[in-house]
Structure formats: structure tokens, C-alpha cells
Amino acid sequence: MNGLSKAENNLFGGIIGSGSLHLQLNRRQKTLIVIGISSTLLIAIMIAAQLMSNQAIATNFSQQNLAPSWAHPFGTDWLGRDMFTRTIKGLSISIQIGLLASSVSVVIALVLGMCAATMGKKVDAAISWLVDLFMGVPHLVALVLIAVVFGGGAKGVIIGVALTHWPSLTRVIRAEVMQVRTSQYVQISRHLGRSRLWIATKHILPHLLPQFFVGLILIFPHAILHEAAITFLGFGLSPHSPAIGVILSESMGYLAAGMWWLAFFPGLSLLIIVRAFDVIGDNLRTLLDPHSAHE
Amino acid sequence: MNSYNNIKNTQNNQPGYLDKGLSQPLSAPKDELLLVEDLSVAFVQYQKGLKQRNLEVICDLDVSVKSGEIVAVVGSSGSGKSLLAHAILGILPSNAKVSGTISYNGEALTVERQKLLRGNQISLIPQSVNYLDPLMRVGQQVQNTIKTKDAKAVQEQLFKRYHLSEAAGVLYPFQLSGGMARRVLVATAVSGGARLIIADEPTPGLHPEVVAETLSHLKELASQGCGVMMITHDIEAAMKIADRIAVFYAGTTLELAPIEDFKDRGEALRHPYTKALWMALPENDFKPIPGFQPTPADLPSGCLFEPRCQLRTAECSADRPEMRDLRGGKVRCIHAT
Amino acid sequence: MNSAKYVFGKTLRMISLLIALCIVSFILVKNSPIDPVQAYIGADMMRVSEEQREQIAENWGLDKPPVEQFFNWAGAIVKGDFGSSMIYREPVIDVIGKRFAASLALMGVAWVLSGIFGFIMGIVAGMNQGKLIDRAIKWYCLTLAATPTFWLGLILLMIFSVGLGWFPIGLGVPVGVLSENVTLSEKLYHLILPALTLSIVGVANIALHTRQKLLDVLASDYVLFARANGESGFGLVWKHGLRNISLPAVTLQFASFSELFGGSVLAEQVFSYPGLGQATVQAGLRGDVPLLLGIVLISAVFVFTGNLIGDIICSVVDPRIKEGRSSV
């Protein structure tokens, strides 16, 4: 009964009764629609970035410093490059790096989380110590260190972002595996003499798959924001690539001249993309496991 | 009894529904301190994929308590009995849908009256020490519930009455032993001078001595004129002090019987489930009832006990039987005689 | 007694983590493509002969085997000697000391402001669950969490410096004034925008967390019982809520030093604020290995200290830890 009462508890409103049946039915549809719209947005950006010609981001001195207009929704910069095209291409790069880096992070988290939960106390202690170690250094400082050590550039960023986003998911997966392991059906399998590997692949792994995907999507926003930040600071992608971090860092020189659009639109677009991933992840989680929803 | 059925109220989904259509006082007999009729409590629950379903955890429940009487609501663990207590006090979660009527002292217990009465006229003795604030000293918590001026003095008096040392007041809930926790909970519940006391599972896995002590507290409260509703899965504890027993099964009450009927081989009992329950006790046949209690998710369409009943006929699965008066008690079975 | 034991255990763990961090960062840097000698010489590359370079390397002990180098370096660190910064031409510890003071002022202001406002927002949202104000606060916090800190800084810069002209655009120390001669009011003046940026971003986490904690508390058995006893409304939240949510909120706020430091790196870059964050970026970009390693260690100490303070406060305030689990 506790699960029910915890699901939604309103202290101050009418104590008894709320939410009609009609509204509740829409929740599933609403969730699906939100996921659909956000995913479409992300896919559209990826496709658009491929289709857009590089012509628009070539230097064009006849189109310098234009404020936003229908021809150039995000304006143009001091080299006459179309900021809309640069932004879309930049976002596409961000999404790709985010995908690569968060995939690596999720795999690391999965392996470490499984090991921590199944390989005994010593391994568990060692992994939790490792998690603490990574969480002990400010994330951005760790990124700078790793990016510098690996020679900067795209390689430095990807390695940096990939190697620093696993700790919190590792904790989640560890806890999840611990819970499944003590559940009855796993206990029964063990009594039936199934091997550890059999239990891990037949029982635990399928249970973790949703966690895995949701984790992947929820790491995305962090990965993208960190990539942009580190590039903004000058450690990441080369100044020639149309990355959001590069665009924003360049824009700093032109703010005093009143060219607000150079920073405003690219940053806002990044925000929307990050938020879209957040929304997808949260809604997927609610869909797969309604009780986890922080509602 | 039947005279109320025509004013039963089934408007769901609206806070304060109990006000509507019930503004005129019910003409309930004065001796019924608490009267619950056709009470239903349902929840909307989400499953994987956000498919929703409506869970009716309590349906068509009837029970009543008189002043100075102890009524035990007996049912197996996890069958939603606590929700009955929460519904009477008006502290159900907000996603709960309630219908039916509850009246206290002859008047409908509206949301406003519930707010007004809980903590002074109606109070709860909760299940466990988890119902105390983990970060507050217990003495302070008892004082919180006392509305009169000198809360500290009243609390100290209460502690004395329930044999709690003065030092116990500065302890935190996690530091209490089982017996002490029980006494603190009782002290908290009676601090406001309640006339109706709802004890929710007051004897969960306690030491026999503590059980006896707790039951004697309840008995004492009833002898002082309080109405006591004791919600429990422990039929033996209920037998020791209750005047009447309400048998709770799958979210409803199947029978209301005076305690005297629980004797010999249960011939005086009315419902087949009550009889089976009585015979399943260790001092009788100690024979479990075959089958399982249905979960709120898949209740049978007819009588809730029908799938497990020895006396079932085709009629049983057609409709839910109404509660009817029988030999000084009530029963929800078409075959009961 | 219990508190002391608890804190001692935490401290021991922190020391072990710091030692490991020293080893890991040292190995990383040693295997990196950075040539410390080249980083040191910088633009003077052409004027320095091969022999001089070797001499510098020998001076720093770079010709010794890595393990020996590590122990020399670690030994010096234990004595408080982090070496010399190549770009600032000063002992690393001095660079960090000066700049950390500036960053601490910035982070301190942001920490206090975001903590207070976040906590209040969380309570307001939690008390009004599902209502418009709750949804607004939640939406605001989730959006903030998705906002790049440096972009927010740029927006504030555009509004308050370029648009309204309240602050100069190239912040930091005014041109032509020695940093020693900057007055306190000027320092505060320069602090406002970056601190505002960090405060706005910092609110999100604490507000969402406090909101969730409050919802948990309101759904708890003891609040149910308090309601059964006639307590209600703000009094109930005040009596039972505050106690039970402020403890985790304080712990969380102390555990947020990591994000705070990262945020200050970005904010300092945007507003050219002369703090440790800016030094981090310079050290990284120009390959100043001693300074970079120094900052990594100091920032880790900063984060661990935050966690430790949170733990200590918990162990002193929470009776369940302070007075032990034993029953009387």
C-alpha cells in the first residue's frame, strides 16, 4: 500500500480524490508524444546538418555582420558566414560526440557496476573507491587534465568526456544489480545450480537493459554540455570546426560591438538540444518504470 | 440500516464530495459513535508502459463502533485494512478516490469535520515507531499533539500514566525499545482526549507481555467510554478484548459478529469465511483455508469469497451480495442462515 | 564518540584518495605529449641552445627514472612545495594561494546565495506539488540544468555590460592599475556578474533535491501520523519537514563543491576574473605542468573538504549517528 500512497501525496489540497480518469488516460499518450517530438527534433538536426551545403559557412564579405533576418535567421558573423548553418552543423557535431562519449561511459558503468555487485566485497570496495576518486576532482578540471594529456583536439575531448561520465551511473547499476541478485527468481536459479555467468546473462542483463538505454540518454546532456564547455575554454575541437563552443568563444570578441546574435542563438539551440535529451530520458524512464518517476 | 442506502453518495473524484447531498444531519442512532457504510477506496495505478488501471482496494465496506465498545476489524496482512483507518481520519493520499458515507456521532464526517476532529476527538494509534518523526525527541512529539496551554505538564502526566520514565522524553524514536515505542504511541493518541480511537495493527510481532499490556491499554480506554476500532490481523488478540468482530476480506467486511458467537465449532457464526477462519486457529482444527485471497487487481465479479467457498452456487458468482442483518449481526452472503 | 570515529574514517579515505590521485595524475602527465622544458622556454625557443635545454631538464630532475621523479615530486608536495609555475614564474603555491582567494570569494557568494534561494524554491515547489508554481519552479530548474554556464555568463554580459552599461566589458582588474592597488569595492564590483551567473545555475540542483526530499517527507508515515493528530499546513512542514530536509540539503550543498569549481572556471573565463579557474585554463593551454598538477590536487582537496564538512555536520546534528543506533 505504501507504494501507492507514496506515488502521489498531496498534503494541502482536497485530501480525498483528484485527477479524473479521462486525464489519467492521456498520460501514456502524452509521454509518447513528448518522446516523439523530441526525437524528431534531434534527428531533423542530424539530417539537416548533412544536407546543408558548406557554401553558407564559407567566407563571404558581402554578407558581413548581418543581424537576424529571414535569409539568415541567426544572422551572419564578421566573415559573412551564416550562423544558422554553423549552429546546426555545430549541434550535429555535439550530438555525435555526445553519442560516442556517452556510449563508452555507459559501457564502462555497466561493466564496473556489474563487477561491483557480483564479484564480492573486495571488488565492490575497490570500485566504489574508484568512483569516489573520479568524483573527487572537479569534473571540469578532470576534463582539462585529460584533454591536455591526450594532446587536445577532438581526440582529447572525446576521451575526456568518455572517461569521466561513468561514476554516477555505475552506482545506479550496482544498486540495481544488487537488488535483482537478492530477488527470488535469481535465488531459485542459484539453488538450481545455474552458473554465475548464466544468471548474469539470463536474469541480470535483461533487467539492466532499460537502465542501460535510459542511462545512455541521460548521460548525453552532460556529455554535450561538457564538450561545449571544454571547447569554449580552448581545449577541444579546433577553431576551424563549426562547434558551439568555438562559436561562443569567438563571439566574445564581438559582443562589445553589439552583435548579440552571435552568442544568443547558438547557445539557446544548445540548451534546447540538451533539454530535448533530458526530456526523452525522463519520459522513457517513466514509461519503463512508473514508480521511478519523481512525481 | 437500510434506510440510509437511499442517501448513499457515490460522487467520485471531487474533494469534499462528502459534503454534497449530506448537508442535513443523518438520523443515525445516537449510540453509534462511528458508522461506515458502503465505503470504497480506489487508486489509479500505473504499470510498465504507463498503462493505467483502477485498483479498488476497499469496496462496499460497512462497520460501526459504539461508545465504550471495542470493535476489531480482522483481516490478513496487506489487505488494505490500514486504508480504512486513513479514510476515517481523512488522511488518504490525494490520488485515492473515496465513495460511501462515514458518520461520526450521528453527523456526516465531512472533509472539514475530519480536519477539525482528527487529533482530538478521533485519534490513531499507528503501527510502528516509523510513525514518529525520526529527528525529534519523543517527549516533544507528544507535546506537539497537545493543544492546551501547558503541553509539557500534560505530556509528563501522560508519560507517568503509561509508565514511561522522564528520561524517555529526551530519546529519539530509534532509541526506543518495542514496548516503550508502543506506550509512546498510545500516549500520543490519547493526548487530545479522543472519544474514538483507531488502533492500526497495535500488536505487530510484539513480545507477548507487550501485547498484553497494549491490549489492556485499549481495554482501559473503552472502559472510560471511548469507542475503539482495532484493526488487526491477529484474531487471537482481537478475541481477548473485542466486543464485536468485523471480518475483513479482499477489501470488504463479510461479517459483523458479536464476540460471543466465536465459540465451539463456530456454529453461531454467519459467513462461511468467518467459520473457516475460526476453525483454522491452532486451538481448533488448525486447518488452513485452501486458495488465496484475491488481489485488488483481479477481484471476482460476484461474491468475493466465492472462488474459495464450500457453499458456492451459480448465484454466488452473479452479484456481490448485500450486507444484511442476521441473528444480531450482519453478513454478506446469500446462503447464510 | 561515534561522530569522531565516523569522521576519522572519512578522513582516512580522503587521504588514500588523494595519494591515488597524485599517482594517477603524475602518470598521465608523464605520458603526455607535453614537453615541460619547451613549455617553460616558450617563445624563447630559438634563443636557447640544446645544451641549455638539457641543463634545465637536469635541474628539474627530468633525466631521472619516472619512479624516482615521482617520489621527488611527491616528497616535495608533502612539504608544501609544488614547484614553480612556468608561466607565472612564481612558486605554484603562491599562484594558487592568491588566485584561490579570489575564486573563494566568488564561489562563496554564489554558494550561499544559490543555497538559500534553492532551498526556499524547493520548499515552495514541494508544498505546492502539481500546482502552477511547482511546475514553474521545476521547469525553471530543469532548464537551468541544461543551460551552459558560459552561455548564461555571455547573456548576462550582453544585458548588463553591453546593453545597460552597468559594468565594464573587459572585467577583471582595470587596465593600468596594479592588482595590489585594487580596492575592495572594485573587487566587489567585479564579483557581481560572475557570482550572479554561478548563483543562478547553482539553484537548480538544490531546489530539485529539496523539493523531492520534501515530497518524500510529506509522504512519510510520521507526517501521516502528524496529520492524524491534527497537525496541518505550514506548521506541519515547519515542525517535521524542515528538520528532515535541511540535513540532506546541507550535505548536498557541501557536496556541490565540484560543480561549483567547474562553474567558476567557466565564469572566470567569460568575465576575465583573475581567479584559480582562469589559471587552470592558462596552465592547461600553455602546458604549465607543475601549476596544472597543483590545481588538480588543490581542487580535489577542496572537493573532499566540502564532502567532509558535510559529513561532519551530519554526524554532529543527526542524532541517529551522534547518539548511536543502540537502544536504551
Domain annotation covers residue B11:
yes
Residue A235's pLDDT is: 85
Residue B135's pLDDT is: 86
Of A8, A151, A263, the CB nearest to C158: A263
Residue B19's pLDDT is: 40
C-alpha cell of residue A163: 572517461
CA atoms A185, A189, A191, A196: torsion sign: negative
The pLDDT confidence band at residue C170, using thresholds 50, 70 and 90, is: low
Chain-chain contact of B111 with A17 (C-beta, under 8 angstroms): no
A21 touches chain B (CB under 8 A): yes
The pLDDT confidence band at residue B10, using thresholds 50, 70 and 90, is: very low
Of A7, A14, A287, the CB nearest to B50: A287
Residue C42's pLDDT is: 60
Instruction: Give the closest residue to A35 by CA, choosing from A268, A279, A227.
Output: A279
Residue C122 has pLDDT above 90, yes or no: yes
Residues C230 and C258 both lie in one domain: yes
C-alpha cell of residue C309: 564538512
A with C: how many residue pairs have Cβ under 8 Å apart? 164
B43 touches chain C (CB under 8 A): no
Domain annotation covers residue C167:
yes
List the single best residue of A16, A27, A294 to mutate versus B (max B Cβ within 10 A).
A16
Q: Mean pLDDT across the stretch C42-58?
A: 68
* Residue A90: C-alpha distances to residues A155, A270, C85, C290 (Å): 17, 9, 35, 34
Question: Cβ of C5: how many Cβ atoms within 10 Å?
Answer: 11
Residue of chain A whose alpha carbon sits nearest to that of C152 = A267
Residues C163 and C44 both lie in one domain: no
Instruction: Give the closest residue to C112 by CA, choosing from C242, C253, C220.
Output: C253
Residue C44's pLDDT is: 59
Count Cβ neighbours within 10 Å for each residue of C175-189 and write b for 16 or more, e otherwise.
eeeeeeebeeeeeeb
Residue C232 has pLDDT above 60, yes or no: yes
Residue C179's pLDDT is: 56
Chain-chain contact of C151 with A275 (C-beta, under 8 angstroms): no
Nearest-5° Cα angle at B59, B58 to B63: 85
Chain-chain contact of A17 with B55 (C-beta, under 8 angstroms): no
The pLDDT confidence band at residue A87, using thresholds 50, 70 and 90, is: confident
The pLDDT confidence band at residue A135, using thresholds 50, 70 and 90, is: confident
CB B17 within 8 A of CB B11: yes
Domain annotation covers residue B113:
yes
C246-276 confidence digits (pLDDT tens): 888 988 899 889 889 999 999 988 888 888 8
Residue of chain A whose alpha carbon sits nearest to that of B111 = A15
Residue B1's pLDDT is: 38
Domain count within chain B:
1
Residue C45's pLDDT is: 57
A221-255 confidence digits (pLDDT tens): 888 888 888 888 888 787 777 888 888 888 877 77
* pTM for this prediction: 0.80
Residues C235 and C128 both lie in one domain: yes
Residue C137's pLDDT is: 93
| CA C160 to mean position of chain CA atoms | 25
Of B118, B133, B177, the CB nearest to C327: B177
The kind and range of the H/E element at C210 are helix C184-218
Domain limit, last residue, from C47, C78, C109: C78
Instruction: Give the closest residue to B332 by CA, choosing from B104, B28, B38.
Output: B38
Amino acid present at A241: S
Chain-chain contact of A7 with B15 (C-beta, under 8 angstroms): no
CATH for C313: 1.10.3720.10
Domain count within chain C:
2
Pairwise CA distance, residues B171 & B159, whole Å: 13
Domain annotation covers residue B127:
no
The pLDDT confidence band at residue C325, using thresholds 50, 70 and 90, is: very low
Residues of B in contact with C326 (CB under 8 A): 175
Q: Mean pLDDT across the stretch C10-18?
A: 86
Q: How far is C117 from chain A (nearest CA, A)?
A: 21
Long-range contacts of A117-122 (CB under 8 A, 24+ apart): A117/A173, A117/A174, A117/A175, A117/A176, A117/A177, A117/A178, A117/A181, A118/A177, A118/A181, A118/A196, A118/A200, A118/A204
Give the residue numbers spanning the domain of B83.
3-121+193-331
Least confident of A268-272, C170-174, C195-199: C170-174
Residue A211's pLDDT is: 76
Residues C216 and C317 both lie in one domain: yes
Higher-confidence residue: B247 or A285?
A: B247
Domain annotation covers residue C117:
yes
DSSP per residue, chain A: -HHHHHHS--SSS-SS--S-HHHHHHHHHHHHHHHHHHHHHHHHHHHHHHHS-GGGGS--GGGTTPPP-SSSTT-B-TT--BHHHHHHHHHHHHHHHHHHHHHHHHHHHHHHHHHHHHS-HHHHHHHHHHHHHHHHS-HHHHHHHHHHHTTSHHHHHHHHHHHHS-HHHHHHHHHHHHHHHHSHHHHHHHHTT--HHHHIIIIIHHHHHHHHHHHHHHHHHHHHHHHHHHHHHTSSS-TTS--HHHHHHHHGGGTTTT-THHHHHHHHHHHHHHHHHHHHHHHHHHHH-GGGS--
Question: Cβ of C255: how many Cβ atoms within 10 Å?
Answer: 17
Residue B105's pLDDT is: 87
Q: How far is B97 from chain A (nearest CA, A)?
A: 4
Q: Please list, in sequence order, all residues whose beta carbon lies within 8 angstroms of the beta carbon of residue A112, skipping any fewer than 6 positions away.
A: A127, A130, A131, A166, A170, A173, A174
Q: Mean pLDDT across the stretch B167-171?
A: 87
Residue C241's pLDDT is: 84
Strands B32-46 and B52-66, bridge-based pairing: antiparallel
Listed by number, the residues of chain A in 233-292 with a beta carbon closer than 8 Å to a beta carbon of chain C are: 233-235, 248, 251-252, 255-256, 258, 260, 263-264, 267-268, 270-271, 274-275, 278
C69 burial type by CB count under 10 A (0-12 exposed, 13-18 middle, 19+ buried): middle
Q: Mean pLDDT across the stretch A96-115?
A: 87
Q: What is the ipTM of this complex?
A: 0.83
Chain-chain contact of C224 with B131 (C-beta, under 8 angstroms): yes
Domain annotation covers residue B224:
yes
Residues C111 and C41 both lie in one domain: no
Of A5, A25, A287, the CB nearest to B93: A5
C-alpha cell of residue B121: 476527538
Domain annotation covers residue B312:
yes
Average pLDDT value for chain B? 81
Residue A149's pLDDT is: 85
Pairwise CA distance, residues B210 & B34, whole Å: 28
Residue C113's pLDDT is: 94
Domain annotation covers residue C87:
no
The pLDDT confidence band at residue B65, using thresholds 50, 70 and 90, is: very high
Residues of A in contact with B43 (CB under 8 A): 4
Chain-chain contact of A140 with C261 (C-beta, under 8 angstroms): yes
Residue B311's pLDDT is: 83
Pairwise CA distance, residues C255 & B186, whole Å: 41
Domain annotation covers residue B140:
no
Number of residues assigned to chain C: 328
Residue A21 has pLDDT above 80, yes or no: no
Instruction: Give the closest residue to C36 by CA, choosing from C68, C18, C61, C19.
Output: C61
CATH for B213: 3.40.50.300
DSSP at B251:
T
CB B215 within 8 A of CB B51: no
Q: Mean pLDDT across the stretch A152-175?
A: 85
Residues of A in contact with C237 (CB under 8 A): 11
Residues C194 and C271 both lie in one domain: yes
Residues C150 and C212 both lie in one domain: yes
Chain-chain contact of B15 with A10 (C-beta, under 8 angstroms): no
Residues C175 and C41 both lie in one domain: no
Residues C203 and C73 both lie in one domain: no
Domain annotation covers residue C85:
no
List the single best residue of B43, B109, B142, B144 to mutate versus C (max C Cβ within 10 A).
B144
Average pLDDT value for chain C? 82
Residues C147 and C251 both lie in one domain: yes
Residue C43's pLDDT is: 55
Higher-confidence residue: B13 or B256?
A: B256
Domain annotation covers residue B170:
no
DSSP at C89:
T
Q: Mean pLDDT across the stretch A187-208?
A: 75
Residue A58 has pLDDT above 90, yes or no: no
Residue B63 DSSP SS3: strand
Residue C92 DSSP SS3: helix
C-alpha cell of residue C280: 587552470
Q: Percentage of residues in chain B with pLDDT exceeding 70?
A: 89
Residue B229's pLDDT is: 93
Residue A40 has pLDDT above 80, yes or no: yes
Q: Mean pLDDT across the stretch B55-60?
A: 84
Domain limit, last residue, from C28, C49, C78: C78
Domain limit, last residue, from C54, C78, C102: C78
Pairwise CA distance, residues A18 & B42, whole Å: 11
Residue B246's pLDDT is: 92
Of B91, B135, B147, the CB nearest to C319: B135
A9 touches chain B (CB under 8 A): yes
Residues of B in contact with A13 (CB under 8 A): 15, 94
B108-119 confidence digits (pLDDT tens): 888 888 888 888
Domain annotation covers residue B167:
no
With cell 567585479, the residue in question is C190
For residue B101, the cross-strand partners are: B37
Q: How far is A197 from chain C (nearest CA, A)?
A: 32
Residue B31 has pLDDT above 90, yes or no: no
Least confident of A2-11, A187-196, A264-273, C191-200: A2-11
Give the residue numbers spanning the domain of C170.
92-321
Pairwise CA distance, residues A23 & A26, whole Å: 5
* Rg for chain A, CA atoms, rounded: 23
